[in-house]
Structure 1
Amino acid sequence: MAVLGVSGLFATETDDYDPSRFFAFYHDATACLVHNGRTLAAIEEERLNRDKHTNRFPINAIRACLDASGTDARDISHVAYFFEEAYTDQDIAREALDDPGMPLVPSRTLLHQRITEATGVDLSDRPTSFLTHHETHAASAFYDSGMSSALIVVSDGNGERDGICVFAGDGDGIRLLHAYNRSNSLGHFYTAVTKYVGYKNFDEYKVMGLASFGDRSVYRKLFSELYAFGPDGNYALANDRVVKTLIEEVGPPRRHDDPITRVHKDLAAAAQEAVERIGLHVIEHWLRRTGLTDLCLAGGVAQNTTLNGKLLKLPGVRRVFIPPSPHDAGAALGAAMIIDRRLHGRVHDVFSPTAYLGAPLGDDEHIRARLDAWGDFITYERPEHLERDVAAALAGGTVIGWTQGRAEFGPRALGNRSILADPRPAENRDRVNLMIKQREDYRPFAPVVTAPDAATYFELDGAEADHSYMGFVVPVREEHRAGLGAITHVDGTARVQALREEQNPRLYRLLKEFEAVAGVPVLLNTSFNNHAEPIVQSVDDAVTSFLTTGLDLLVVGPYVVQRTDTPAEALAKSRLEIPRFCQVVRTVDRHGENQVIIRTSRPNRRTPVSAVLAELLREGGRISDLPLAADEREELVREVRRLWDNRLVVVSPS
């Protein structure tokens, strides 16, 4: 009998719950299955509905978890949700005040209704637990750490009442030591600065990368006047004054298409320093107070890998663990872990011996069938020596999309849904940033390295840590920085993934083959997606991303894929549809009539489209079926290609 853990809101594609109203809440919707001390599957809904950070109910993820684990829905014995019931009911009620047409149904009823929609089985008679949000985060870290006892610090935007919670974990479970009010949230502070610098929710990692280019001292005084330390690890942070202070003292906020200036870099650096100072103030106090030497972190702020790297140098810290999914997706897993521990106690040292807990790619026959379907766009072959051939291509400058097995759980690509490149030439960083990922040129890339060789290239001294999940920024050894130019950040650091052979044998073989031709068992490893989509999940996702980026080759399972030289003709013959999270709408105003694609989830952008394409998308047709002149057809193909690049149309091969 399995425990189903769930995060996310109760919106679907067809109901009345507008997910854009809850954009900052219930995000990263996820389903997890846990049984008798083991994680069977953990899948984020965004990977399946293709809506990044989606908060729609994880209907597809529940189905995928059941399929991936071979579990019958009738064998779900308990359901666990990642927030308290009263809090969730009140949140929905507050939103309903602004929308009298929105249905107001108890969250417990909604949860059971949605699970029934997903599974076809009524599970409303199963015990259902709504848990404290920060406790679910704490469980996701401690119960996968393998530690017998640890200090657990959870920091994010907020839980029900708190911005930071400190727990102690041991053989008896997890107990709360102290809670810091949500008004002092480090997550909200960092998000406020992120928006001021011209980014949006969930872009905090961009500010962290930008911080390395700035001077912390320039705005140190400005930020230091917004917080104060108290005794016993307490602090006060004036989040209500952050934006007002920045506008008054620095000027108007940056718009996303404005250039990034020295001011923005210095602000990012000073904000990062403030988060580090406050975080270390809290953590150091509770380490002293409890005498504990092992440390676990979870919550969105635990994705601040620069801060995490500094924890490795704290005196008296023996071990640090950060799970592969410290954000709200991990809270769904933590919720399931809590209930499973109540039922069975501690069965194994960890619930999740691997991070590859997502939906599978499919067997070789399935992969081949999907590649055949894209035959107008691609050709493929199955080389006898896959890893050797791919390593040679990488060493020769080829950038490759690499897709294998079950997807990773969490926001990091750990080698099953990755873009891989030679880590040596610094120009590869710019090439992957601008031509392939289509993102800011300052952002760093992570390396993956064979674990036995990791300390040769990276400074891993200090506290012991599991570097399997890219959770820590550490220095690249000075003698290797020039030779690893593509993965060494401007400050001489990298967010390293140290891979053990048993974790991912095929990727490990590729690293060793690359070492044989290039001299280093290291590769540049970044998530396989473009700027407009989540990490790829399926064969079709991988082919789509390959065809709409500057990738040179695609590897899917044992197959190596290349483009054909007739993409326009292939696109004209393909079936075009609207994505699940979009609508085609006719608008009429005093300036006339327009056709637009509207995202039904945040950001709610409106993208104009031609009347011909709007009608085609409504019907789900093909350009080749339309009676168009050659120049009209070419223009329509170009329009579709622009929208496809931004994932505003779905292209299905003929």
Structure 2
Amino acid sequence: MYILGINSGHNSTACLLKDGRIIACVSEERFKRIKNYAGYPEESIKYLLEFAGIKSQELDLVVLGNIMLPPFASAQTKGARPLIVLHWMFSRLRAIWGTVEFKLPFLRPFSEFVYDRAMDFGGPIILRREKRLISLKLAVPEAKVMAVEHHTSHAFAAYYGSRFNRQQALVFTLDGEGDKLCATVSIYHNGSYERIAATHLGHSIGWIYMDVTQLLGMKPMEHEYKVMGLAPYAKSFGTDKVYHLIADIIGLDKRNPLVFRSKFDTHRTLAYFQKILRYKRFDFIAAAAQKLTEAVVVKWVRAAIEQTGIGRIALGGGVFMNVKLNMKIMEMPEVQEMFVLPSCGDESTPMGACFYGYKYLCAQRGEVFLPQPLKDLYLGPEFSAAAIEETLKRAGIFSKYEVRRETEIEKEIARLLSQNQIVARVCGRMEWGARALGNRSILANPSDYDNLRVLNEWIKDRDFWMPFTPAILREKEPSYIENPKEIAAPHMALTFRTKDLARRHLKAAIHPYDFTARVQSLQEQDNPGFYKIIKEFERRTDIGGVLNTSFNLHGEPMACSPRDALLILEKSELKYLALGDFLIYKK
């Protein structure tokens, strides 16, 4: 049974499930080389079908991760202009009316009613067109194309991707907005689920954080992690002053604490912030936004656990990309077991769509529903030694640089790292999602703080305040991080407080101000080659981890192909690239 999941919106992605297991997933940005590309994921789907060795006609079901969406995919077809113009006009009217409503708050219930009815009318029109387009492109009957509500997609991905997807759990979804909602709370148990609370999109803590990102001159829906990284530098006295100005913007409904309530439509927070936060320091604003998010969301999670008595939780939706927030939730005494879906923004909705479609088909066919947890995130393309060698020849690399084919490339990488060299590694299947987990990574010695400057100025061109991250051996966890609940952290979805040894061994790979670390805790079966590198590095240096950051230039997608890797090598001051078992040295 093959099920294809599609997200044609922000960070367009496609995912393929076979007999209950996610076997491949990739975002279109990796092929188009446009960060967070929005549109029909044509190249991604092509890869998925080639990987599985099937034709599109052999798909049992195609599932979209939204039921009300902007016409991203339809925009690529003839005759779509009226639909695009209508969508633009509606967006403009919504913005204008929002200004009126902000000044006259009593109009808010009427505004929400009108908006919902407009979405109920326009959403199905766009969805029908999207289904028709996908049916034509894939040459499958339109009856094989279905859609699932956005937050259900997030919840299915978080719960069925977890290792406890046969047990009862609370599932939280939280994002900017999607299909008229911004947050949900549900109870899942094996194949059954019940949504017990939902928050309308006008009460969005995710939208507030996004507006803070824009207020600080950064790119919304992309640079929120920079706000999070900046926050720890702010002094508490300044943070508290700004926090008191914004603390009443959003909280929990007094009658139902599983629902958020804001004092005005959160789509208007940017204008509000521009007024009340004028001349306030940038770091105080960042820290206050982080403090507000942590305070409100932790209170929300606590209320749900207290109401249901369920301490096992799964988290999905873009707000939970905030790893500092995740740490606060993880440390709550009420939380017994926790899973954060890795890269849980809209790029994860195709996974949830796949699990939803699988459940639907199992019910239709009378088959047992047996979804498999995510084993790892190495779900993208890989390239053979022959393909790599051909790329090197075509690019003239053998004559331009020193190239060696290593029989034990992992040991050679570890040797270079121990000599304080920085090495990029492209090997095996590419990671799905925002985090590099060793196969499309830049690696460095984490004990040398100067590597921060080298990586930032010569290679990554990152903002100076942003920390890097460590990949550590799982057996070194007790020495490096505080993890009393022994929550698994193989995907860089959680931040931990560090111990003194980590602050010496990993000082270039932890936050330099609050000493937290967004770790990748690695076991040998997770990624044998990468594990071997770190193990050999430990043998040489007594340090059980390396600095691990994504192999890309600032503002560009992570490297996918050997060609991408060579372009980054050429454009940066990087000297060493391990491409499969070829080691390239740029003198």
Q: Same fold (TM over 0.5)?
A: yes
2:302 touches 2:334 (CA, 8 Å); kept in 1? no
Give 1:55 shift: 0.6
* 2:276 aligned residue (234, 239, 249): 249
Q: Cα–Cα, structure 1 residues 504 and 169, in superposed 2: closer, same or farther, change >3 Å? A: same
Q: Note the alpha carbon deviations across 1:551-602, whole angstroms, 9 max, x for none.
A: 12000111101236xxxxxxxxxxxxxxxxxxxxxxxxxxxxxxxxxxxxxx
2:135 touches 2:142 (CA, 8 Å); kept in 1? no
Q: Cα–Cα, structure 1 residues 112 and 562, in superposed 2: closer, same or farther, change >3 Å? A: farther
TM-score, normalisation: structure 1: 0.77
1:26-175 matched pairs, under 5 angstroms: 26-84=9-67, 95-97=84-86, 106-114=126-134, 116-117=136-137, 121-147=138-164, 148-175=167-194
Stretch moving more, 231-240 or 165-174: 231-240
The answer for the alignment partner of 2:358 in structure 1 is 340
Partner amino acid, structure 2, of 1:445: F
1:112 touches 1:123 (CA, 8 Å); kept in 2? no
The answer for the alignment partner of 1:465 in structure 2 is 487
Give 1:522 shift: 0.3
Stretch moving more, 155-164 or 167-176: 167-176
* 1:184 aligned residue (179, 200, 203): 203
The answer for the alignment partner of 1:284 in structure 2 is 302
2:157 touches 2:341 (CA, 8 Å); kept in 1? yes
The answer for the alignment partner of 1:301 in structure 2 is 319
1:79 touches 1:126 (CA, 8 Å); kept in 2? no
> What CA distance in whole angstroms lies between the structure 1 residues aligned with 2:441 and 2:423?
8
The answer for the alignment partner of 2:459 in structure 1 is 436
Q: Note the alpha carbon deviations across 1:87-139, whole angstroms, 9 max, x for none.
A: 87999977422779xxx98533444434644xxx5113442211100000001
The answer for the alignment partner of 1:363 in structure 2 is 384
> What is the aligned-residue RMSD (CA, Å)?
2.3
The answer for the alignment partner of 1:476 in structure 2 is 498
The answer for the alignment partner of 2:374 in structure 1 is 352
1:36 touches 1:347 (CA, 8 Å); kept in 2? no
2:156 touches 2:353 (CA, 8 Å); kept in 1? yes
> What CA distance in whole angstroms lies between the structure 1 residues aligned with 2:326 and 2:70?
30
> What CA distance in whole angstroms lies between the structure 2 residues aligned with 1:465 and 1:95?
46
**SS of alignment partner, residue 443 of structure 2:** strand
1:85 touches 1:108 (CA, 8 Å); kept in 2? no
Give 1:338 shift: 0.6
Partner amino acid, structure 1, of 2:375: P
Q: Cα–Cα, structure 1 residues 505 and 218, in superposed 2: closer, same or farther, change >3 Å? A: same
**SS of alignment partner, residue 71 of structure 1:** coil
Q: Cα–Cα, structure 1 residues 250 and 540, in superposed 2: closer, same or farther, change >3 Å? A: same
Partner amino acid, structure 2, of 1:153: F
Q: Cα–Cα, structure 1 residues 405 and 266, in superposed 2: closer, same or farther, change >3 Å? A: same
* 2:230 aligned residue (207, 210, 229): 210
TM-score, normalisation: structure 2: 0.86
The answer for the alignment partner of 1:559 in structure 2 is 582
* 1:508 aligned residue (491, 509, 531): 531
Partner amino acid, structure 1, of 2:86: L
> What CA distance in whole angstroms lies between the structure 2 residues aligned with 1:385 and 1:553?
16
The answer for the alignment partner of 1:314 in structure 2 is 332
1:385-396 matched pairs, under 5 angstroms: 385-396=408-419
Give 1:372 shift: 1.5
> What CA distance in whole angstroms lies between the structure 1 residues aligned with 2:131 and 2:34?
21
**SS of alignment partner, residue 165 of structure 1:** strand
> What CA distance in whole angstroms lies between the structure 1 residues aligned with 2:301 and 2:580?
43
% same residue: 28
> What CA distance in whole angstroms lies between the structure 1 residues aligned with 2:450 and 2:187?
46
1:257-272 matched pairs, under 5 angstroms: 263-272=281-290
Give 1:378 shift: 3.4
Q: Cα–Cα, structure 1 residues 346 and 208, in superposed 2: closer, same or farther, change >3 Å? A: farther
Q: Note the alpha carbon deviations across 1:436-485, whole angstroms, 9 max, x for none.
A: 100101101110011121221111123x4220110111111134313321
**SS of alignment partner, residue 4 of structure 1:** strand
1:355 touches 1:408 (CA, 8 Å); kept in 2? yes
Is residue 2:561 matched to residue 1:538? yes
**SS of alignment partner, residue 60 of structure 2:** strand
Give 1:549 shift: 1.2
> What CA distance in whole angstroms lies between the structure 2 residues aligned with 1:381 and 1:48?
28
2:3 touches 2:63 (CA, 8 Å); kept in 1? yes
**SS of alignment partner, residue 57 of structure 1:** coil
2:343 touches 2:493 (CA, 8 Å); kept in 1? no
2:71 touches 2:130 (CA, 8 Å); kept in 1? no
Q: Cα–Cα, structure 1 residues 369 and 153, in superposed 2: closer, same or farther, change >3 Å? A: same
**SS of alignment partner, residue 176 of structure 2:** coil
Q: How many residues align?
A: 530
Partner amino acid, structure 1, of 2:144: P
Q: Cα–Cα, structure 1 residues 380 and 174, in superposed 2: closer, same or farther, change >3 Å? A: farther
Give 1:396 shift: 1.1
Partner amino acid, structure 2, of 1:294: R
The answer for the alignment partner of 1:4 in structure 2 is 4
Is residue 2:432 matched to residue 1:409? yes
2:71 touches 2:83 (CA, 8 Å); kept in 1? no
Q: Cα–Cα, structure 1 residues 524 and 398, in superposed 2: closer, same or farther, change >3 Å? A: same
1:77 touches 1:126 (CA, 8 Å); kept in 2? no
2:172 touches 2:184 (CA, 8 Å); kept in 1? yes
1:4 touches 1:33 (CA, 8 Å); kept in 2? yes
For structure 1, the 5+ residue unaligned runs are: 9-25, 253-261, 565-654
> What CA distance in whole angstroms lies between the structure 1 residues aligned with 2:28 and 2:224?
21
Q: Note the alpha carbon deviations across 1:496-539, whole angstroms, 9 max, x for none.
A: 11011111000000000000111112000111100131000000
2:33 touches 2:556 (CA, 8 Å); kept in 1? yes
Give 1:187 shift: 1.2
> What CA distance in whole angstroms lies between the structure 1 residues aligned with 2:496 and 2:302?
20
Q: Cα–Cα, structure 1 residues 519 and 243, in superposed 2: closer, same or farther, change >3 Å? A: same
The answer for the alignment partner of 2:103 in structure 1 is none
**SS of alignment partner, residue 23 of structure 2:** strand
Q: Cα–Cα, structure 1 residues 194 and 85, in superposed 2: closer, same or farther, change >3 Å? A: closer
Q: Cα–Cα, structure 1 residues 466 and 347, in superposed 2: closer, same or farther, change >3 Å? A: farther
> What CA distance in whole angstroms lies between the structure 2 residues aligned with 1:110 and 1:246?
37
Q: Note the alpha carbon deviations across 1:402-437, whole angstroms, 9 max, x for none.
A: 111111111110111111111001121222122210
Partner amino acid, structure 1, of 2:568: S
2:479 touches 2:501 (CA, 8 Å); kept in 1? no
> What CA distance in whole angstroms lies between the structure 2 residues aligned with 1:46 and 1:297?
24
**SS of alignment partner, residue 164 of structure 1:** strand
* 1:374 aligned residue (362, 377, 395): 395
Q: Cα–Cα, structure 1 residues 348 and 502, in superposed 2: closer, same or farther, change >3 Å? A: farther
> What CA distance in whole angstroms lies between the structure 1 residues aligned with 2:296 and 2:12?
29
For structure 2, the 5+ residue unaligned runs are: 90-122
Is residue 2:522 matched to residue 1:499? yes
2:56 touches 2:139 (CA, 8 Å); kept in 1? no
1:410-429 matched pairs, under 5 angstroms: 410-429=433-452
**SS of alignment partner, residue 166 of structure 1:** strand
2:10 touches 2:37 (CA, 8 Å); kept in 1? yes
> What CA distance in whole angstroms lies between the structure 2 residues aligned with 1:560 and 1:115?
44
> What CA distance in whole angstroms lies between the structure 2 residues aligned with 1:545 and 1:79?
35
Q: Note the alpha carbon deviations across 1:384-414, whole angstroms, 9 max, x for none.
A: 3322211111111111111111111111101
